Structure 1
Amino acid sequence: MVCRNKDKAEAARADIIRESGNTEVHVHILDLSETSQVWEFVEAFKRQYPSLNVLINNAGCMVNKREMNSNGLEKNFATNTLGVYILTQSLIPLLQKSRGPRVITVSSGGMLVQPLRAHNLQSQGGFFKGAKVYAQNKRQQVVLTEQWAKAHQVIHFSVMHPGWVDTPAVSASMPQFRQMMGERLRTAVQGADTVVWLALSRAAPATPSGSFFQDRKPVQTHLPMAWTHSSTKDVQKFMGQLETLAQRARPQAAEPQPGSPTEPSPALDVQHHV
């Protein structure tokens, strides 16, 4: 589990061990909003583990005012998009060494009302609204997943909407929405169902890689007659900008050292990013 808060992570780890009886649950501390730290984490992880079976990108944030991280990047974008890009892109070599590897990214149905704004990934200028920026980030995750699926056919990529779930994050970021939805919100267990199914079921890899899922079924990524479709040019521009921003934030210490001795640990079953 890759977590930001050590105390909450250790509590979750203890719960998992108690419920499952599996003591092989390990915690790594990382703030995904800090881009340079993501680089440092992935390089350390690759030195420790020779392969990776499943990666679940579940971290996310909705910051309701424009804030910057230490690399000068807008915090929602840094967490929801660029951090996911660096983490997944860097771990693809380890995933390719596994049998039937999978990557699941937890997106949101909110992305259905937002296009890919390749010209303004960090929401510069104009009125800043956290919910809108979040939805744009989630559209970016969908496009990323589609591009990864085309480029890496050995890995099964998927992105999903868990439904509207009653979580502390929803309460803190969208209190009016939570009050309006009331009992119609799902439980955390219900929200996690499709994530777990995509990670573990035998049926999931039979579905097309790169699909967007809800309730264990592939669903459309655009509403009928929507204006949210992206041109090939915009997608290419988006991917190029991500790589440029990622490399700019890469610390020199995170550069892999050719020929450096390493002694990897046994392969990790599931690297659950929360």
Structure 2
Amino acid sequence: MSLYRNSAWFLKGVTEFTRKAFLAASKRFVEKDLEVSLAGRSFMITGANSGIGKASAMAIAKRGGTIHMVCRNKDKAEEARADIVKETGNKEVYVHILDLSETKKVWEFAESFKRKYKTLNVLINNAGSIMSQRDVNAEGLEKSFATNVLGVYILTKSLIPLLEKSPDPRVITVSSGGMLVQKLRTGNLQSERGRYDGTMVYAQHKRQQVVMTEQLAKTHTNIHFSVMHPGWVDTPAVANAMPDFHQSMKESLRTPEQGADTVVWLAVSEAAATNPSGRFYQDRKMVSTHLPLAWTHSSSLEEQKLMSLLEDLAKTFQPH
């Protein structure tokens, strides 16, 4: 089965996830969808100092949006902020330092953000982590799970009250087509059992993000949730985590701007908000979250189990 999934996924990738595929898809894009003024609207973007996150911040800042860059590395974040301000002329770009793998700090950051700022229109969960070997944070949680899943869950849940008070609130999570080869598994959330394969662990986390988005959309109906696949993008993260793939596909990889296109479209366009909440997108279009005949569907019981496990874990680290 995994051989079929991997082959079907690679075939799909070669035809749909490359730069060439983006250029073909972009022929049907509606240009005026992105002709919007975002003055007075605020956007939080995690991992905004490079790759898709920075390209998204740049595109939104160009349209007058206020940007809250949430980054791990202060120097890289300040450098990226300077680039964005210089290129867009928009000074409403703020840097916040947070490592999403530090669970308690995610809570603390979100709580202090809510005290300081009265509005947040859009949250873009972009930061992600692929580990080459299993590692745990100071709280004993597997690091990539803490970053990709629990950190995203806590940040989103904690900011929901602020989003709900703001006009036209949206949450966009940057997932990956890699999740198409994974069925949701709640029995080994922190990859304690079996051989640790960082790429597959990451793909599992991306499947969890899709399920999380679908579930949150059901319970918070006045926020527009979406999750998307940027395609195969030439970013520092891909080059570091998957050097062989990066090297062999380099000529076919999308630019960060192409990867960010659907993020920006979901974050700012009126057209995106008219679609149902909780869906998965690729190149500005709703697409299936499963490959045909790949048996990756999960029961609603399993999906609810994921949410309750995340809720329990999140509460454990909530400051009182």
Q: TM-score, normalised by structure 1?
A: 0.90
Provide the rounded CA distance (Å) in 1 between the counterparts of 2:117 and 2:250. Answer: 43
Number of residue-to-residue matches in the alignment? 252
Report Cα offsets for 1:131-182 as digits up to 9, x if no partner: 0000000000000000111111111000000001011111110001111212
Which residue in the other structure is 1:219 paired with? 287
**What residue identity is the alignment partner of 1:88?**
T
**What residue identity is the alignment partner of 1:109?**
G
**What residue identity is the alignment partner of 1:107?**
S
Provide the rounded CA distance (Å) in 2 between the counterparts of 1:149 and 1:120. Answer: 25
Provide the rounded CA distance (Å) in 2 between the counterparts of 1:77 and 1:229. Answer: 21
Which of 184, 202, 212 is matched with 1:116 structurally? 184
Report Cα offsets for 1:56-109 as digits up to 9, x if no partner: 000001011000011110011000000000000010000001111110000000
Q: Does 1:49 align with 2:146?
A: no
**What residue identity is the alignment partner of 2:146?**
A
Provide the rounded CA distance (Å) in 2 between the counterparts of 1:29 and 1:56. Answer: 16
Note the 1:88-127 alignment, pairs <5 A: 88-127=156-195
Provide the rounded CA distance (Å) in 2 between the counterparts of 1:235 and 1:92. Answer: 20
Q: Does 1:66 align with 2:134?
A: yes
Provide the rounded CA distance (Å) in 2 between the counterparts of 1:4 and 1:114. Answer: 28
**Matched position secondary structure for 1:96:** helix
**What residue identity is the alignment partner of 1:243?**
E
**Matched position secondary structure for 1:124:** coil
Which residue in the other structure is 2:18 paired with? none
Q: Does 1:133 align with 2:201?
A: yes
Unpaired runs of at least 5, structure 1: 256-274
Which residue in the other structure is 2:9 paired with? none
Alpha-carbon deviation of 1:118? 1.1
**What residue identity is the alignment partner of 1:204?**
A
Report Cα offsets for 1:244-264 as digits up to 9, x if no partner: 11111223xxx3xxxxxxxxx
**Matched position secondary structure for 2:156:** helix
Select the structure that is richer in helix: 2
**What residue identity is the alignment partner of 2:139?**
N
Which residue in the other structure is 1:158 paired with? 226
Which of 28, 35, 39 is matched with 2:103 structurally? 35
Alpha-carbon deviation of 1:51? 2.0
Note the 1:81-92 alignment, pairs <5 A: 81-92=149-160
Which residue in the other structure is 1:10 paired with? 78
Provide the rounded CA distance (Å) in 2 between the counterparts of 1:178 and 1:5. Answer: 24
Which of 215, 229, 234 is matched with 1:147 structurally? 215
Alpha-carbon deviation of 1:22? 1.1
Which residue in the other structure is 1:26 paired with? 94
Q: TM-score, normalised by structure 2?
A: 0.78
Hey, which bits of structure 1, 4+ residues long, moved more than 3 A? none
**What residue identity is the alignment partner of 2:100?**
L
Provide the rounded CA distance (Å) in 1 between the counterparts of 2:273 and 2:154. Answer: 24
Provide the rounded CA distance (Å) in 1 between the counterparts of 2:83 and 2:270. Answer: 26
Alpha-carbon deviation of 1:30? 0.1
Which residue in the other structure is 2:265 paired with? 197
Which residue in the other structure is 2:239 paired with? 171
**Matched position secondary structure for 1:64:** coil
Provide the rounded CA distance (Å) in 1 between the counterparts of 2:301 and 2:277. Answer: 22
Report Cα offsets for 1:209-267 as digits up to 9, x if no partner: 1110010001000111121111111111111110111111223xxx3xxxxxxxxxxxx
Alpha-carbon deviation of 1:29? 0.1
Percent identity over paired residues: 69
**Matched position secondary structure for 1:158:** strand
Which is further off, 225-234 or 70-79? 225-234
**Greater relative CO (CA pairs within 8 A, separation 6+):** 1
